[in-house]
């Protein structure tokens, strides 16, 4: 019961803390070098699920 309350609150606190540390220059870097963002998205969307599938099949 306590896990259902404390875990979401803890996660929300951690996410808010990380979000508050961002500056405008962090977002500007995405527009200056969008290739890094695209590469990260490619690995998250294509490579990560594919590698998990391969590990499951083996």
pLDDT tens-place string over residues 7-57: 999 999 999 999 999 999 998 988 999 999 999 999 999 999 999 999 999
Q: How far apart are CA 53 and CA 18, in angstroms?
A: 31
Task: Decide: pTM greater than 0.85.
Answer: no
Which residue do the tokens 């977002």 mark?
Answer: 27
For residue 2, the model assigns a pLDDT of 77
* Confidence band, pLDDT 50/70/90 cuts, at residue 3: confident
Tokens of 29: 């870097």
| Domain chopping of the chain, boundaries | 2-57
Provide the 10 A C-beta neighbour count for residue 5. 9
pLDDT of 1 over the 90 cut: no
Tell whether the torsion through CA atoms of 48, 52, 53 and 54 is positive or negative: positive
């Amino acid at each position: 019961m306590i896990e259902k309350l404390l875990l979401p609150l803890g996660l929300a606190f951690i996410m808010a803390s990380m979000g508050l540390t961002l500056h405008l220059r962090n977002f500007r870097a995405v527009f200056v070098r969008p290739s890094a963002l695209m590469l990260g998205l490619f690995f998250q969307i294509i490579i990560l699920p594919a590698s998990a599938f391969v590990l499951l099949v083996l």
